[in-house]
Structure 1
Amino acid sequence: MINFQGKVALITGGSSGMGRAAAIAFAKYGAKVVVAARREDQSQAVITQICQMGGDAHWIKTDMRNPEQIRSLIEQTVEYYGRLDFAFNNAGTEGKFAPMTELSETDWEQTITVNLKAVWLCMKYEIEQMLKQPGGGAIVNTSSWLAKGGLVGSTIYSASKGGLDSMIRPAALEYAPHNIRINNINPGIIDTEMLRRFFHPDDDAAKPFIHHIPVQRLGTSEELAQTVVWLCSDATSYITGQTISVDGGYAIPGHRVA
């Protein structure tokens, strides 16, 4: 049984999708939860739901493009709850998908800033806090199957997630002696708000993806959230520096029936 009583979890991008599901999951297991996001109405809806469950949650408005707000986020979390045990760095952007010759330096900078630099900063300040307190901590970041795969138009997004997968390995080596574990989840085709900006799960555009997912369906935010909670629990105390695919087998190499 997972028991997070007395623990504090920080979730960035916690107002919707996988972040929202993770915030609720951490609260169900007893953790106090900080939701970091820009959108007040959606964030407050998550806080209200957690409180109605009997949990304890707090919203901190944070723009991942702003380094000072990221630093302040961790400071405010500790000021409010006294410590930081778990961090799910989930905030991200799909950026602009287009052939490379149609993309600009601005497109590059915007996606890399949110998906890679901001996660690096989150980890930096989260680890600094975890080093100050007894017990260490666990960090999980949202990467993507596109860190190892590709779609037409995904050069910048794939680069941002590939960089994120590479970054956690040395970070895990650096802080394993301090009982701080760092892992990534690599979601496959998950039914989220971000996915629905590309296509609806019931559209014809979704059919080729579903056809090539061995379990023959899209994943859910709740399934991702359970993996995040598991990676923060004592059940995975010997796992660090890993990228965990949660994709229904989509990324398995091999023959697919046309």
Structure 2
Amino acid sequence: MNNTSTDSTSGLLAGKVAFITGAGRGIGAAAARLFAREGAEVLLAARTEEQLKAVTEEVRAAGGTADYVVCDLADAAGVRAAVDRAVDLYGRLDIAFNNGATIQRPGPMDQLPEAEFDHVCTVNLKSVWVAMVAEVAAIRATAGSGAIVNNSSVGSLRGNPELPVYGATKRAVNSLTESAAVTYGPEGIRVNAIAPGGTLTEMIRTWEAESPGVLDRIKAQTPLRRTADPDEIAEAAAWLLSDRSSFVTGTVLRVDGGARA
């Protein structure tokens, strides 16, 4: 982890208010720390208050500006309220990183219970749609223009026999991303997605526990021969949310160590 103190005046995201889902751990927590170091005022959202509080305190201790809101992505009203909270706290919304997601039980699609299918679709797809609609409204009403990044997966770009419903929801997120980019581009609101490859998060560790050997297989199929650190994925999101990527919208950026090359 980079412990460099926050530079609120010259950082990549200086002067921006950022909203991040799934911010209590993994890629979301890495993004919260990074965005704050790069000058953004950050609102963290996730289900687990203990994790949110720990990351928020870490950001503040490093000199950043952060707060948190407990939010279950399966609760549409809660997602909308969380986005509105960013405006209540900081007076505006400039950028958002829709990172939160849930994993499915690994295995063939015919072995997945219907209730789990519904839950994965609600958390991984519907919540992204709900969040984007709320974020666009907040950006439109305050900052006027801005950027949104959705966290997809390299697993959305190919057949995914072990995580078929997870992969399907992430492919749908890619489509929503592209449609939103076309819809809101004329207003100066950019919408992109990142598609991480194997990344050392709790989600992939859970998959490894269910299917021993998955991590070794992922590394073998990745030209860089390793998994990503969450910080590396957060860096890609930060660039897409920054003014440095001002002519980039509607793209799904692979951050996968060459796995899909």
Structure-2-length-normalised TM-score? 0.92
Give the alignment partner of residue 78 of structure 1, picking from 87, 92, 106: 87
After superposing on structure 2, the runs of 4+ consecutive aligned residues of structure 1 that deviate more than 3 Å are none
- CA distance in structure 2 between the aligned counterparts of 1:74 and 1:155, rounded to whole angstroms: 30
Superposed, 1:62-141 pairs within 5 Å as 62-141=71-150
Distance 1:218 1:4 in 2: 26
Question: Residue 249 of structure 1 corresponds to which residue in structure 2?
Answer: 258
- Residue 204 of structure 1 and its aligned partner are, at CA, apart by 4.4
What residue in structure 1 maps to residue 27 of structure 2?
Answer: 18
Equivalent runs, 1:1-258 vs 2, <5 Å = 2-199=11-208, 204-252=213-261
Structure 2 residue aligned with 1:255: none
1:249 is paired with a residue of what secondary structure? coil
The amino acid of 1:215's aligned partner reads: L
Structure 1: tracts of 5 or more residues without a match: 253-258
- 8 Å contact kept, 1:2–1:233: no
Q: Deviations over 1:104-126 (max 9, x none)?
A: 32121100000000000000000
Q: 1:244 to 1:3 in 2, by over 3 A?
A: closer
Unaligned stretches of 5+ residues in structure 2: 1-9
Aligned residue pairs total 250
Q: State how far apart, in whole Å, the 2-side matches of 1:204 and 1:97 are.
A: 13
Q: Secondary structure of the residue that 2:207 maps to in structure 1?
A: coil
Identical pairs, percent:
38
Given that 1:89 and 1:119 are in contact with CA atoms closer than 8 Å, whether structure 2 keeps it comes out as yes
Q: What is the rounded CA distance, in whole Å, between the counterparts of 1:140 and 1:249 in structure 2?
A: 21
In 2 relative to 1, CA 205–243 (structure 1 residues): closer, same or farther, beyond 3 Å? closer
